[in-house]
Amino acid sequence: MDNIISITVIDRASKEHKLEAPTDMNMNMMELCKSYELPVDGTCGGMAMCASCQMYILTDHVSTKRSDEEQAMLDEAWYVEDNSRLGCQINLTNDLDGLVVQVAPYVEEGSDYDDW
């Protein structure tokens, strides 16, 4: 199948999930993770306004260059690394075949970090 790629997602428990992803449905990484019921909230619905779909890019398939909007959101997020991206800003295309990402840690509301 020409429009199906393989992506590996490492969840917060360090478990690897091998996913098949369609590239002809205008989906992004946040939507793909949610469709497989992985722990990615996507609270804002993919508008780059919440950072609940933050992930670390572990391969060279995706640029770590961010839009101004994405950077502004990550500036307010926890656990941001140089290879952080918002899953909602990574559109699934054929050149992402073999991509490996790790879901970033999540700060629970009411945690010690919530008071900062």
CATH number at residue 76: 3.10.20.30
For residue 64, is it within any domain?
yes
Q: Are 9 and 38 in contact (CB under 8 A)?
A: yes
Query: Which pair of structure tokens corresponds to residue 19?
Result: 């996913």
Looking at residue 89, what is its pLDDT? 96
Q: pLDDT higher for 79 or 2? A: 79
Expressed as residue numbers, the domain containing 36 is: 4-104
For residue 110, is it within any domain?
no
Looking at residue 109, what is its pLDDT? 55
- The closest alpha carbon to 70, from 104, 46, 96, belongs to 46
For residue 17, is it within any domain?
yes
Domain count, the chain: 1
pTM listed for this prediction: 0.89
Longest dimension (CA), the chain: 49
Asked if pLDDT for residue 65 goes beyond 50, the answer is yes
For residue 111, is it within any domain?
no
For residue 113, is it within any domain?
no
CA 52 to chain centre: 9
